[in-house]
Amino acid sequence: MIFAIKRFETHDGDGIRTTLFFKGCPLRCKWCHNPESFGMQRQIAFFQNLCTDCGICTELCSANNLSDGIHIFDREACTLCGRCIDCCPRNAFLIYGEDRTARDIATELLRDEMFFKGSGGGVTFSGGEPLLQVELCIEIARKLKKHGVNIAIDTCGFAPRKSFERILPYADTFLYDLKAYDEDAHIRCTGKSNKIILENLKFLDDIGSNIEIRIPYVPEYNDDQMEKIAKFLSPFRNIKKIRLLSYHDYADGKYSALDIQNTLPPKLPNNADLEKAGKLIQNITKFVVLY
């Protein structure tokens, strides 16, 4: 189950990349910009701000009705038939989630093979958490590796050790997220303990994996964790670089469209605070920090 394939990405690993987004995530980060990745089931989004109350969809689907000229979407009555998507002139509906075969996905990804080779890029498995569907990851990766495609795994780290061991033969790089060092802070920000995340990262470093650390910077949520994260990372030997990610709230509309509680923090980082955090991390770890 995937929910997107995005081409010509330049921030999901080295070179020009095509990013494959797997559905399903064990964490519930307060600042998540992909809320459509939470569950592994298909789900519909209704962007009410795009709707013009034209009523076309009401003639085709009982989940859509007009009340005093205003469009009403009954989410519980929706069967995900997709008729509203086909008929809506404003693209106010969207279904997230496609159940596709590894062969079909790999074929689509390989359309960009020439760009990978020319730029030193490849394919990035992201999500959600791709290792929740490790069997699918492996099947796709096997097909890509026959063509020499570089593969990066963008992971939150909250997955069984066995899943990491199984994907290792195919992974050229791990893009590894660290949200907080203190366990209570991590639970407050994501709903889960970070013990398994820190343990898996140590494991990957010990066996010599190529690692890029990715740290979201979210004011009043994890900004006090930067120094602690840096001190934890400083003894590591196989971190190639650290990327400090500035929190943004671009996903605001997705939450309402999916009828999910919006947990996006109200405060955005400023450049001065981001630069200060980046210099702090670089001074402690001696690793290159990009932001």
Write out pLDDT tens, residues 185-232.
Answer: 999 999 999 999 999 999 999 999 999 999 999 999 999 999 999 999
The mean predicted confidence, pLDDT, of the chain is: 97
Last residue of a domain, one of 59, 79, 96: 96
Clarify whether residues 88 and 220 are in a common domain. Answer: no
Clarify whether residues 220 and 252 are in a common domain. Answer: yes
What is the tally of structural domains in the chain? 2
Last residue of a domain, one of 30, 62, 96: 96
Clarify whether residues 57 and 133 are in a common domain. Answer: no
CA gap 222, 252 in Å, rounded: 20
Last residue of a domain, one of 96, 111, 139: 96
Residue 176's pLDDT band (cuts 50, 70, 90) = very high
**CA distances from residue 85 to 39, 251, 260 in whole angstroms, order as listed:** 21, 20, 20
Sign of the dihedral through C-alpha 34, 193, 240, 202: negative
* AA letter at 259: D
Residue-wise pLDDT for 89-138, tens only, equals 999 999 999 999 999 999 999 999 999 998 999 999 999 999 999 999 99
Clarify whether residues 179 and 225 are in a common domain. Answer: yes
Residue-wise pLDDT for 46-98, tens only, equals 999 999 999 999 999 999 999 999 999 999 999 999 999 999 999 999 999 99
Contact 109, 123 (CB under 8 A): yes
Clarify whether residues 8 and 86 are in a common domain. Answer: no
pLDDT value for 73? 97
Clarify whether residues 132 and 172 are in a common domain. Answer: yes
Contact 135, 41 (CB under 8 A): no
Clarify whether residues 235 and 255 are in a common domain. Answer: yes
Q: What is the CATH number of the domain that holds 10?
A: 3.20.20.70
Domain of 60, in residue numbers: 43-96
**CA distances from residue 223 to 135, 156, 175, 196, 220 in whole angstroms, order as listed:** 36, 18, 20, 22, 6
pLDDT value for 119? 95
Residue 234 makes CB contacts below 8 A (sequence gap 6+) with: 284, 285, 286
CA gap 278, 291 in Å, rounded: 7
Contact 141, 38 (CB under 8 A): no
Clarify whether residues 89 and 77 are in a common domain. Answer: yes
Clarify whether residues 116 and 163 are in a common domain. Answer: yes
Q: What is the CATH number of the domain that holds 80?
A: 3.30.70.20
Clarify whether residues 35 and 52 are in a common domain. Answer: no
Clarify whether residues 123 and 73 are in a common domain. Answer: no
Clarify whether residues 154 and 11 are in a common domain. Answer: yes
